[in-house]
């Protein structure tokens, strides 16, 4: 008989945004096979029992803008002096820390060592190392396609459009085996003041990237602060649009029209870190405050228009380390006005869809992958408890426990 686990009578948030309910949840091998109050004795037979008293069971969380390769976690802060070999190991380390904190899947937002991220994806999937399901990404292609980790943001003025080199970049990254190619359509004022609304790619270059991506079967992600860049991303079928900070009415309309094929990650975590952490690198604080003011206007509008948003706040920097990822959920509630149920849906059902696994990931339904999180307490009453890894009584990925509070394990079998 296949290995079975019965979560007995927890409060269940199934990921869909509907109110929670009490139910038993039965897992066999790597799948959920039953959800309800009347699971038959035959189904239960031989299952290990996990007591759900006082706990909430929800789908494993999904980070839609992960930076494992940046190397900083709550356990280790990278200083950029690490060798490439050490950075590759940090990708694996960061994956384990992310899983420790209840994130069973991650959609990469860029990596300076894409070969390392592809290798980590394999290691996580085969169980060689603990880590989340991973969509591996390229490094972040910027104007002139300078080297990974080099952020110059010179813009498009003064250089010739070069669509062939952009198509080559996409093909080179596809050859490595990434799932996602990221284009830095605008600069980033947090790194170089005043560049967030400066375009870094021409229309012809983005069109070339889109054509190459379609041929090679990879997805595109856009770092896009300006309204112009958001509209450009939508025109060229870019799957994930990060930031969308200064989206105007035209850009909002474009996202709304494309809401069945596009995802937005408004990334409040990095803004919060810049505004509150004294160790953050120097930045124009007035512009950072403007960034917060603008995105707190844009995100509620996107919610009202039915645009799918995902959590993921550029975690991986020393001042915004991996392990704090669930803070985005609280910021979605406090900054953007989401209900806890709406915020959690962004981190579960919509995250599963972003991963390209919407029919089997991100919901607690029969037939779905058993990526599950058992939380002491009720995150729908207090979303902040998900930031406390000590409240995670169980983390399951593909039917296997990454962690389990032994006090909740009934020594008898069903």
- Report the CATH number at residue 190: 3.20.20.140
pLDDT (0 to 100) of residue 2 = 65
Q: Which two tokens stand for residue 53?
A: 């008293």
pLDDT (0 to 100) of residue 40 = 86
Mean pLDDT over 224-232 rounds to 97
pLDDT (0 to 100) of residue 188 = 81
> Do 252 and 281 fall into the same domain?
yes
Mean pLDDT over 89-96 rounds to 97
- Go through 353-369 and write b for each residue having 16 or more CB atoms within 10 A of its CB, e for each that does not: bbbebeeebbbbeeebb
Residue 340 lies in a domain: no
pLDDT (0 to 100) of residue 112 = 86
Tens digit of each residue's pLDDT (9 = 90 or more) over 196-223: 888 999 999 999 999 999 999 999 999 9
Strand order in the sheet with 55-59: 21-22, 11-12, 55-59, 372-376, 392-397, 400-404
Strand order in the sheet with 409-413: 31-36, 24-28, 4-8, 48-51, 409-413
pLDDT (0 to 100) of residue 191 = 77
Residue 219 lies in a domain: yes
What is the Cβ-side half-sphere exposure of residue 349, based on CA atoms within 13 angstroms?
A: 15
Residue 341 lies in a domain: no
pLDDT (0 to 100) of residue 149 = 52
Q: Considering the entire predicted model, what is its pTM?
A: 0.96
Domain carrying residue 135:
61-325
pLDDT (0 to 100) of residue 59 = 98
> Do 47 and 83 fall into the same domain?
no
Q: Which two tokens stand for residue 72?
A: 């900083």
Q: How far is CA 333 from the centre of its chain?
A: 17
Tens digit of each residue's pLDDT (9 = 90 or more) over 302-354: 999 999 999 999 999 999 999 999 999 999 999 999 999 999 999 999 999 99
Q: Which two tokens stand for residue 17?
A: 């945004």
Q: How far is it, in rounded angstroms, from Cα 50 to Cα 41?
A: 16
Indicate whether 1 pLDDT > 80: no
> Do 175 and 210 fall into the same domain?
yes
pLDDT (0 to 100) of residue 413 = 63
Q: How many CB atoms are closer than 10 A to CB 157? A: 8
> Do 122 and 156 fall into the same domain?
yes
Indicate whether 103 pLDDT > 70: yes
> Do 213 and 97 fall into the same domain?
yes
> Do 275 and 376 fall into the same domain?
no
Number of domains in the chain: 2
Indicate whether 405 pLDDT > 70: yes
Query: How buried is 256 (Cβ within 10 angstroms: 0-12 exposed, 13-18 middle, 19+ buried)?
Result: middle
Indicate whether 194 pLDDT > 90: no
Confidence of residue 282 (pLDDT cuts 50, 70, 90): confident
Residue 246 lies in a domain: yes
Q: How far is it, in rounded angstroms, from Cα 382 to Cα 374?
A: 15
CA gyration radius for the chain? 21
- Report the CATH number at residue 8: 2.30.40.10
* Number of separate helices (H) and strands (E) present in the chain: 12, 19
Residue 216 lies in a domain: yes
């Amino acid at each position: 008989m296949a290995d079975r686990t019965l979560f007995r009578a927890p409060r269940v948030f199934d990921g869909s945004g509907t109110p929670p309910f009490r139910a038993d949840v039965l897992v066999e091998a790597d799948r959920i096979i039953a959800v309800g109050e009347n699971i038959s004795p035959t189904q239960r037979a031989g299952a290990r029992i996990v007591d759900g008293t006082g706990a909430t069971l929800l789908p494993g969380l999904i980070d839609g803008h992960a930076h494992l390769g940046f190397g900083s976690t709550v356990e280790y802060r990278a200083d950029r002096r690490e060798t490439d070999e050490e950075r590759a190991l940090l990708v694996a380390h960061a994956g384990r820390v992310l899983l420790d904190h209840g994130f069973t899947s991650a959609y990469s937002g860029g990596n300076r060592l894409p070969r390392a991220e592809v290798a980590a994806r394999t290691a996580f999937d085969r169980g060689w190392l603990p880590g989340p399901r991973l969509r591996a990404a390229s490094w972040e292609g910027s104007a002139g396609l300078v080297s990974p980790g080099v952020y110059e943001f010179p813009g498009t003025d003064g250089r010739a459009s070069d669509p062939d080199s952009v198509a080559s970049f996409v093909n080179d990254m596809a050859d490595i085996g990434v799932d996602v190619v990221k284009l830095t359509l605008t600069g980033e004022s947090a790194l170089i003041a005043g560049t967030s609304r400066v375009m870094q790619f021409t229309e012809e270059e983005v069109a070339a990237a889109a054509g190459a991506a379609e041929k090679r079967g990879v997805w595109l992600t856009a770092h896009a602060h300006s309204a112009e860049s958001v509209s450009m991303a939508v025109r060229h079928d870019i799957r994930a649009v990060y930031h969308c900070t200064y989206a105007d009415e035209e850009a909002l309309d474009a996202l709304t029209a494309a809401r069945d094929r596009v995802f937005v990650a408004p990334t409040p975590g990095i803004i919060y870190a810049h505004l509150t952490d004294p160790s953050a690198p120097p930045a124009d604080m007035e512009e950072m405050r403007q960034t917060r003011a603008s995105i707190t206007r844009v995100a509620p509008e996107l919610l009202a228009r039915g645009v799918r948003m995902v959590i993921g706040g550029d975690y991986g920097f020393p001042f915004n380390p991996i392990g704090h990822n669930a803070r985005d959920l609280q910021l979605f509630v406090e900054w953007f006005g989401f209900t806890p149920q709406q915020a959690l849906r962004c981190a579960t059902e919509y995250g599963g869809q972003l991963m390209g696994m919407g029919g089997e990931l991100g919901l607690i339904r029969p037939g779905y992958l058993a990526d599950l999180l058992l939380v002491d307490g009720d995150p729908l009453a207090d979303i902040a408890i998900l930031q406390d890894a000590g409240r995670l009584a169980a983390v399951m990925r593909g039917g296997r426990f990454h962690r389990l509070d032994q006090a909740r394990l009934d020594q008898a079998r069903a």
